[in-house]
A and B are shown apart, each in its own frame.
Chain A
Amino acid sequence: MQDPLKAICDDDLERRWLWISLLLAGGMGFLLGIYALKSNLHPPSNVETIDSSRLHLTEEFAEDNLGVKENEDGSLTVTMVAARYGFFPPVVEVPTDTPVKFRVASADVLHGFHVPYTNAATMIVPGYVSEVSTSFPTAGTYSFLCNEYCGLGHDSMWSRLTVVNKTDGGDK
């Protein structure tokens, strides 16, 4: 069979390299696709709008309703608000090895959150609700860091996440 790349490339060596390049690029995409399908590994991509100036009037993001809630299937939902310059509630505690879904809304400008050394990360965009699902295999004290420039006080925007061992009765 004739090499289809022969139409654009006369040199044997260069054509071989072109094939390798295509396989590299395609292979990366293919592998990430397999992981996405098999392990349900997607970036946070929730499409849901909200009026950021009226968060306090919604049921979900009103101050009294923020924090960790257990769902019927044993997984957790953590509802949070990001606002200059803090995350609310300021302290979050979750058990190890439990599916956790964070639902976060901004009350003002762009924010981000990232828990270093984990894949718990999302942008928090005014007008939209961010959703990120993960679980934490190792107990310890972690930090939520705001990782998007949100104003002059951006550096001080961080809070604590405590992950406790599931057997210690972390879920009360």
Chain B
Amino acid sequence: MNNKTSASLGLANMWVAFIFFAVAAVLGLYQTVERMDIIPGLKSPELYFASVSTHGVLMGFVLTTFFVMGFGYYAASTSLKQEIWSKPFAWFGFWLSLIGVLIAAVPLLTGNASVLYTFYPPLMAHPAFYIGATLLVVGSWVWCLQMVMMMSSWKKANPGETVPLVMYGTTANAILWFITSLGVASEVLFQLIPWSLGIIDTVDVGLARTLFSWTLHAIVYFWLFPAYIALYTLVPAAAGGKVFSDQMGRVAFILLLLFSVPIGFHHLYMDPFQAAGWKFLHMTGTFMVSVPTLLTGFTVIASLEVAGRLRGGKGLFGWIGALPWNNPIVLAALLALLMLTFGGFGGMINASYSMNAMVHNTQWITGHFHLIFAGTTVIMYFGTAYYLWPKMSGKALYSTKLAVYQLWFWFIGMLVLTLPWHQLGIAGQPRRISSTPYDESLVQSWITAEYAMIVGGLVLVVSALMLVYNLFKTHGNAQAETNLEVEYAESLHSTARMPKLMNSFGFWVALIVIYMVASYGYPILQFFLMETFGTVPWSI
């Protein structure tokens, strides 16, 4: 069968992702310079906070959602060898999401939605911002439905067979995203939109923040999922080996699905209005969600070792050198694992019930999520794009060498940016500030790290533009791609007898519903049981 539709869907979605990504990267560089107060003419809180809001929305909502959708469509049709479930519906979802982004862009760029990507009521944005964001999410639900339908129709057509790991993971992510987005969807539909249109006068900020926390943690797993899927299914084959254990990949995906939503209160540790016991419960789940990541680390490194040894690597560490470091997706994976390790250690601190108080809302947090998201996750988006672009476009990659440099630049830039941010955070610098008019001794201790941040930002922007240039030039490449087959890694251990629970989702979804009722039921209900006071809207 031909994959023309899924290739066009893949390319269209991923181009939207990377174009907005490049815009957001430039905004990021501006922010690093602006907040340091070194160029007096640049000082403008209006522009700065409009930029931070746009940067967050584009990186967090647009790059991710479109990349995930594009990757999902292409992975589903190539792994199942099946057409997209409904082509017109898939394009409808794409256009709905894109129109949503464009609608939201107007208030964002004109400074009428400088409420950051986390919304922050009772600061109120223009209604178009909330409506545009809602359309983006609704468009992505179309994708969720497509993935679920494709997996179930494949299972019907192939009774008793094991769903390919790449599709199992992609469907897990589709289900995860649907459940995840219900929190923010309720906040926006029942609170923010009616409030911004003047239909209701006040919002309960405690309830709004509780609903947002439902989405806020699991959304990062929605972003991370395709990176993990690529690590399990594309990287081992590209490195010349096999995936160490297909089954443990499934265990990791199930654990991510199960534990990433009911743990959102680690974003509310410092908030009043939720009692300590609930926060402790969510913390234990937060530590549990590190298990699938530790497991992924093991399986992926073991798979790479298998590849390295097959390529003739000897000794305890010799296999590392034997890996194809000049293959973009393999290089991306190696750098992603390094950043995941650094970022993961930091994450243990902010995940901790009591230690978090020292770093909450400081630049440490910005450093943490840039390492895990902009580092680990996004570098895997790059690696995956370099791998899939020739297959989707039919043209050979414009320059592998440029791609390799680009990935190294991204890695170095990200470390230069984020390691100083961790230090700034411990030294008390708040995140989300456009200048530093604080106590002199405090500000003095921040300066070196702040200069490093600008250097990091500069390297990252160069890297971002190299990526877009390389992908763009690939379309015009005279040389055709010879191997159009997407090679998914085989498992070292047999997958013939897969337990039913690792080949379906019904049981796990039921378990999540129970877990969600236990961890969010009363915390949401309490707002309707006690006397609360809503808050009127405030402009920025």
**B295 and A145 within 8 A (CB):** no
User: A39-80: contact bitstring with B at CB < 8 Å (1 yes, 0 no)?
Assistant: 001111111111111000000000000000000000000000
CB contact list, B465-512 vs A, under 8 A: 493, 499
B538 at the A/B interface (Cβ < 8 Å)?
A: yes
CB contact list, A12-27 vs B, under 8 A: 13-14, 17-18, 20-22, 24-26
Whose C-beta in chain B lies nearest to the C-beta of A31?
B352
Stretch at the interface among A88-96, A128-136, A163-171: A128-136
B138 at the A/B interface (Cβ < 8 Å)?
A: no
B354 at the A/B interface (Cβ < 8 Å)?
A: yes
Stretch at the interface among B127-135, B144-152, B527-535: B527-535
A-B pairs with beta carbons under 8 Å apart, 20 shown = A10-B245, A11-B493, A18-B295, A25-B287, A28-B287, A36-B354, A42-B279, A45-B279, A46-B272, A47-B272, A47-B273, A117-B428, A119-B354, A123-B270, A126-B122, A141-B439, A147-B431, A151-B538, A151-B540, A153-B45
**A149 and B120 within 8 A (CB):** yes
B11 CB to nearest A CB, Å: 37
**B275 and A149 within 8 A (CB):** no
Whose C-beta in chain A lies nearest to the C-beta of B114?
A152
A104 CB to nearest B CB, Å: 9
**B271 and A125 within 8 A (CB):** yes
A48 CB to nearest B CB, Å: 7
**B433 and A49 within 8 A (CB):** no
**B46 and A152 within 8 A (CB):** yes
**A125 and B291 within 8 A (CB):** no
**B361 and A148 within 8 A (CB):** yes
CB contact list, B89-128 vs A, under 8 A: 114, 116, 120, 122-123
B168 CB to nearest A CB, Å: 15
Cβ-defined partner of A116 (8 Å) among B442, B532, B538: B442
**B275 and A45 within 8 A (CB):** yes
CB-defined contacts of A149 to chain B, threshold 8 Å:
49, 116, 120, 123, 432
Query: CA–CA, A15 to B434, complex, Å?
Result: 49
User: B512-540: contact bitstring with A at CB < 8 Å (1 yes, 0 no)?
Assistant: 00000000000000100011111110111
Residues of A in contact (CB 8 Å), total: 69
CB-defined contacts of B361 to chain A, threshold 8 Å:
112, 114, 121, 123, 147-148
CB-defined contacts of A152 to chain B, threshold 8 Å:
45-46, 49, 114, 540
**A147 and B538 within 8 A (CB):** no
**A127 and B205 within 8 A (CB):** yes
A143 at the A/B interface (Cβ < 8 Å)?
A: yes
Whose C-beta in chain A lies nearest to the C-beta of B291?
A21
With A108-B538, A149-B49 as contacts: A14 and B299 at CB distance below 8 Å: yes
A110 at the A/B interface (Cβ < 8 Å)?
A: yes
**A112 and B270 within 8 A (CB):** yes
Query: CA–CA, A153 to B49, complex, Å?
Result: 11
**B272 and A48 within 8 A (CB):** yes
Query: CA–CA, A160 to B466, complex, Å?
Result: 47
**A28 and B348 within 8 A (CB):** yes
CB-defined contacts of A29 to chain B, threshold 8 Å:
283-284, 287
Query: CA–CA, A146 to B436, complex, Å?
Result: 12
With A41-B354, A125-B271 as contacts: A53 and B439 at CB distance below 8 Å: no
B356 at the A/B interface (Cβ < 8 Å)?
A: yes
**A129 and B251 within 8 A (CB):** no
B206 at the A/B interface (Cβ < 8 Å)?
A: yes
A8 at the A/B interface (Cβ < 8 Å)?
A: yes
**A49 and B427 within 8 A (CB):** no
**B438 and A25 within 8 A (CB):** no
CB-defined contacts of A125 to chain B, threshold 8 Å:
205-206, 209, 271-273
**A114 and B428 within 8 A (CB):** yes
A137 at the A/B interface (Cβ < 8 Å)?
A: no
Cβ-defined partner of B530 (8 Å) among A49, A110, A146: A49
Query: CA–CA, A10 to B492, complex, Å?
Result: 12
A94 CB to nearest B CB, Å: 17
With A21-B291, A152-B45 as contacts: A8 and B247 at CB distance below 8 Å: yes
B41 CB to nearest A CB, Å: 18
Query: CA–CA, A149 to B534, complex, Å?
Result: 20
B389 at the A/B interface (Cβ < 8 Å)?
A: no
**A145 and B272 within 8 A (CB):** no
Cβ-defined partner of B205 (8 Å) among A20, A32, A110, A150: A110
B435 at the A/B interface (Cβ < 8 Å)?
A: yes
User: B330-372: contact bitstring with A at CB < 8 Å (1 yes, 0 no)?
Assistant: 0000000000000000001001111111101110000000000
B25 CB to nearest A CB, Å: 21
CB contact list, B425-451 vs A, under 8 A: 427-428, 430-439, 442
CB-defined contacts of B534 to chain A, threshold 8 Å:
127
A151 CB to nearest B CB, Å: 5
**B540 and A43 within 8 A (CB):** no
CB-defined contacts of B419 to chain A, threshold 8 Å:
none
Query: CA–CA, A10 to B531, complex, Å?
Result: 54
CB-defined contacts of A122 to chain B, threshold 8 Å:
270-272
User: B42-68: contact bitstring with A at CB < 8 Å (1 yes, 0 no)?
Assistant: 000110010000000000000000000
Query: CA–CA, A157 to B433, complex, Å?
Result: 10
B409 at the A/B interface (Cβ < 8 Å)?
A: no
With A14-B298, A46-B272 as contacts: A127 and B45 at CB distance below 8 Å: no
Whose C-beta in chain A lies nearest to the C-beta of B430?
A147
CB contact list, B275-296 vs A, under 8 A: 275-276, 279-280, 283-284, 287-288, 290-291, 294-295
Whose C-beta in chain A lies nearest to the C-beta of B46?
A152
CB-defined contacts of B428 to chain A, threshold 8 Å:
114, 116-117, 143, 145
